[in-house]
Amino acid sequence: MPQLNENFLRLEKNYLFINIAKKIAAFKEAHPEADIIRMGIGDVTLPIAPVVIEAMKKGCDEMGVKETFKGYEDSGAGYDFLREAVSGYYKSFGADVAPDEIRINDGAKSDCGNIVDIFGDDNTILVTDPAYPVYVDSNLMSGRKIIYADSNEENGFAAMPDESVHADIIYLCSPNNPTGSVYTRTQLKEWIAYAKKNNAIIIYDSAYEAFITDPDVPRSIFCIEGAKECCIEMCSLSKTAGFTGMRCGYTVIPEALKVIASDGTEVSVAQIWGRRQGSKFNGVSYPVQCAAAAVFTPEGLKQVHENIAYYQENARIISDTMTKLGVKFTGGVNSPYIWFKCPNDMKSWDFFDLMLEKIAVVGTPGAGFGKNGEGWFRLTSFGDRQRTIEAMERFEKLVSDMK
């Protein structure tokens, strides 16, 4: 009889956003007339930039012509034209990342979940809490020991290293999902120093970098000196360019990142990851890579930034409502997420139910992201403008009535 990987039994029965979708479906069935506004999952709503769609169509046309048809891409790491475009993008904000340090993927989530394959199960994993559930879930699946660094109200939801604790692999996310908090240059230097002291690797999730407006907040960990010897970075076009339904992202593993194997040999992490991908991943479709490359052209960047500006204005509307109501929050600036304290010290899931039942607005309960998320709540600014305004009018009434 086949045996299960019983580590899966240690996971929550459903992934957070599946649980929320189920709750919405049940509510809809009970209240078919309800006008539900969704501000839960961080999914974009604006159409993809025209220049990006044009590039994708051109890529599709090329696939239909013998002379330009493409089968497998030889390296498996992504087309050179896209890796060069990503490298140029990194350079534009001061990160020296070479094209051959970049691998194209189908969005950050896959690499984020799969990277654990190349590390031994005896590693101690450090996750800041609250966090994107994939970091914890993917390590629980292989039975690893996870320790947590508390992000909380006291430290502005930006946990810093505890020198008395050892970790081998560290997950950081800035701008942070779910809290919208960001690490400054000085704070990232501290994390890098800690990683080096512990011979650890930082897995840095920069999926929300395009929302950064503050010049003191780095757009990449590779803007910080010393990062190349101890960091891996994962980024995605999902939030930058509306690719949640297109699927494309990239992972950077620098040449300089090495691990010493048990026989004492020095091993390149990029080489091992490439080996893993060679056996388990056949790359991203050519038309999608054409579309992705168009994002990094001057016109592409201009068009995607118009969409980002729209979401940033939504974030301002949500933040202003919190300020007006005297509700404590982080995020909203440098981030599409607003992370607020539930009124009247309510628990996150209770507040979720209350919002759904009383005002038909869906958010994400902070407790779904870890223990320090209890009592907090996340709203996304990725919605339609009028619906965001409407949701905030309903929210204002709800919270005023609770006082």
* Residues 226-245 as x/- pattern, contact with ligand MLT by CB under 6 A: ------------x-------
289 forms part of the interface with ligand MLT (CB under 6 A): no
* Beta carbons of 72 and 283 less than 8 angstroms apart: yes
Residue 208 labeled ligand binder = yes
Among 109, 144, 247, 341, binds ligand MLT (CB under 6 A): 109
Please state, in angstroms and rounded to a whole number, the distance separating the CA atoms of residues 384 and 324: 21
Longest dimension (CA), the chain: 69
285 forms part of the interface with ligand MLT (CB under 6 A): no
41 forms part of the interface with ligand MLT (CB under 6 A): yes
Q: Which is nearer to ligand MLT, 51 or 134 (CB)?
A: 134
Among 20, 42, 116, 210, binds ligand MLT (CB under 6 A): 42
Please list the residues that pair with 105 across neighbouring strands.
249
The minimum distance between CB 58 and ligand MLT, in angstroms, equals 27
Residue 276 labeled ligand binder = no
Which residue intervals of 167-280 are DSSP H helices?
185-197, 237-241, 269-280
Residue 109 labeled ligand binder = yes
- Do you find a cis peptide bond into 178, omega within 30 degrees of 0? yes
* Beta carbons of 102 and 83 less than 8 angstroms apart: yes
Question: Residue 135 corresponds to which amino acid?
Answer: Y
Please state, in angstroms and rounded to a whole number, the distance separating the CA atoms of residues 378 and 329: 9
Please state, in angstroms and rounded to a whole number, the distance separating the CA atoms of residues 114 and 33: 42
Neighbours of 289 (CB within 10 A): 24
Q: Which is nearer to ligand MLT, 43 or 150 (CB)?
A: 43
* Residues 316-355 as x/- pattern, contact with ligand MLT by CB under 6 A: ----------------------------------------
Find the part of the chain contacting ligand MLT (CB under 6 A) among 5-13, 37-45, 116-124, 345-353: 37-45
Residue 90 labeled ligand binder = no
Site residue total, ligand MLT (CB under 6 A): 7
Residue 378 labeled ligand binder = yes
The minimum distance between CB 39 and ligand MLT, in angstroms, equals 10
* Residues 110-149 as x/- pattern, contact with ligand MLT by CB under 6 A: ----------------------x-----------------
Residue 311 labeled ligand binder = no
Please list the residues that pair with 128 across neighbouring strands.
149
Find the part of the chain contacting ligand MLT (CB under 6 A) among 39-47, 91-99, 277-285, 348-356: 39-47
Contacts of 19 (CB under 8 A, 6+ apart): 12, 368
247 forms part of the interface with ligand MLT (CB under 6 A): no
Strands 124-129 vs 169-173: parallel, antiparallel or unpaired: parallel
User: If 0-12 CB within 10 Å is exposed, 13-18 middle and 19+ buried, where does residue 265 land?
Assistant: exposed
Residue 55 labeled ligand binder = no
Question: Residue 74 corresponds to which amino acid?
Answer: D
Q: Which helix (H) or strand (E) holds 138?
A: helix 133-140
Place of tokens 């992504």: 78
The minimum distance between CB 212 and ligand MLT, in angstroms, equals 17
The minimum distance between CB 258 and ligand MLT, in angstroms, equals 30
177 forms part of the interface with ligand MLT (CB under 6 A): yes
Structure tokens at 275: 């080996």
Q: Which helix (H) or strand (E) holds 357?
A: helix 348-359
Please state, in angstroms and rounded to a whole number, the distance separating the CA atoms of residues 292 and 237: 8
Place of tokens 């169509």: 57
Number of alpha carbons in the 13 Å side-chain half-sphere of residue 208:
32
Residue number with the shortest CB distance to ligand MLT?
42
* Residues 64-103 as x/- pattern, contact with ligand MLT by CB under 6 A: ----------------------------------------
Footprint of ligand MLT on this chain (CB under 6 A)?
41-43, 109, 132, 177, 238
Q: Which residues are annotated as a binding site for pyridoxal 5'-phosphate?
A: 72, 108-109, 132, 177, 208, 236-238, 247, 282
Q: Which residues are annotated as a binding site for substrate?
A: 15, 42, 109, 132, 177, 282, 378
